[in-house]
Amino acid sequence: MLHERRILLIIGGGIAAYKCLDLIRRLKERGASVRAVLTTAAQNFVTPLSVGALTGERVFTDLFDLTAEHDIGHIRLSREADLIVVAPATADLMAKAANGFADDLASTALLATDKPVLFAPAMNPRMWSHPATRRNLALLKEDGALIVGPNSGAMAERGEFGEGRMAEPMEILAAIEARFEEHPQLLKGRRVLVTSGPTVEPIDPVRYIANRSSGKQGHAIAAAAAAAGAEVILVSGPVQVPDPRGVTVIHVERARDMLAAVEEHLPTDVAVFAAAVADWRVAGEAEQKIKKGPSGTPGLSLVENPDILATISRHKMLRPRLVVGFAAETENVVPNAKDKRIRKGCDWIVANDVSPATGIMGGDANTVHLVSAEGVEDWPSASKAEVARRLVARIAGALA
């Protein structure tokens, strides 16, 4: 997909600049040619020598470079690329791009380009949430810029946590590949519903029952379906990943709320149930926080939550044409998935081993098996974005 594609990578001045070294390597592995522009601030984090060693190209740093500028180098750089990627896209770079500043090579190349631009924002959470940054982001989107991330997590500053971490290299790579997708409208005219993340079942106002699902795979599927032209409804439990662009998102907490949201948005052509729904909830949620006392540990009476996958798979009036479930297993992965597909009445099961040693639960990669009535497909380990795109392609083929 990226063979002979020309990427201009503008590296901004943030600690996340080191991730661009991995991004360059992965782009080169996929056949892309990469040229890089380093801002003055970026050179405090990565060197032209390290970047140039990976790109195999000269690294550009100075707007007034006599060698490059004899043929208007900043114009040539911006026009010869198929795509410009700005990573990390600092608050300063985004402000310059949004408002048409051109006081260095990076901002001048952005102003001079007629090619698509993908920004991967990275900054302190307070900078990201500042009204000025939000205005600049809105302006960039209005001008047609593509955005990937940011993610939530720990910041470089001690004790800081929140939204502002640059997307991981594989996420940026997936966004780049999506831009060059040969058949981006595979699901045009289709309506797709996806569930994602965990559900949270309260015990009292403070405590709850949940699981370790991050929502990364479900959100990636929703994003891939939207990129393929589908109208997408994403019903998400509490997660730390951002809402995918171009997707209608309904945020819920409990399993019963998730089922209600799913039923409310039927009919659809496809339903993909990637959420890890809590199997049980407490029979009686306490109105106040349960306190320790002399009587010892309180007993919790559990009742079963509604089975969303089975309910929709057996829906007499509004069953989607294709129903896809997920099976997160820690043993006997494929046999358990085969049994689950039959018990639930769905068409496909996407099964994976989520044992702690695999790193899949909460991680960025996945290894899945697609179980259907026709048999089992063992897919190679890949990023969750790549798994999502492959699943969407299989769904498109099934609906054709």
Where is average pLDDT lowest: 25-29, 55-59, 150-154, 254-258?
150-154
Supply the pLDDT for residue 159: 65
Residue with tokens 């307070």: 126
Instruction: State residue 157's pLDDT score.
Output: 64
Q: Is the per-residue pLDDT at 76 higher than 80?
A: no
Mean pLDDT of 372-391: 90
Output 141 or 374, whichever has higher pLDDT.
374
Q: What does the pLDDT look like over 321-354, one tens digit per residue? A: 999 999 988 899 999 999 999 999 999 999 999 8
Give the residue ranges of the annotated binding site for CTP.
279, 289, 306-309, 326, 340, 344
Mean pLDDT value across the chain? 89
pLDDT the model gives residue 65:
61
* Confidence category of residue 183, pLDDT binned at 50, 70, 90: very low
Please check the confidence at residue 22 and state whether its pLDDT lies above 50. yes
C-alpha 270/C-alpha 324 separation (Å) is 8
136 included as an active-site residue: no
Catalytic residue among 99, 136, 211, 352: 211
Domains belonging to the chain, first-starting first, are 6-179 (3.40.50.1950), 191-399 (3.40.50.10300)
Residue 288 scores a pLDDT above 70: yes
Predicted pLDDT of residue 372: 96
What share of the chain has pLDDT > 70, as a percent? 95
**What is the reported pLDDT for 178?**
77
For the segment 61-74, the average pLDDT, to the nearest whole number, is: 60
- 352-361 pLDDT, tens digit each: 998 887 877 7
Mean pLDDT of 54-59: 90
pLDDT above 80 (res 68): no
Question: In the predicted model, is pLDDT for residue 185 greater than 50?
Answer: yes
The band of 184, judged by pLDDT with boundaries at 50, 70 and 90, is: low
Query: Is 66's pLDDT higher than 50?
Result: no
pLDDT at 357: 79
User: Binding site residues, as ranges?
Assistant: 279, 289, 306-309, 326, 340, 344
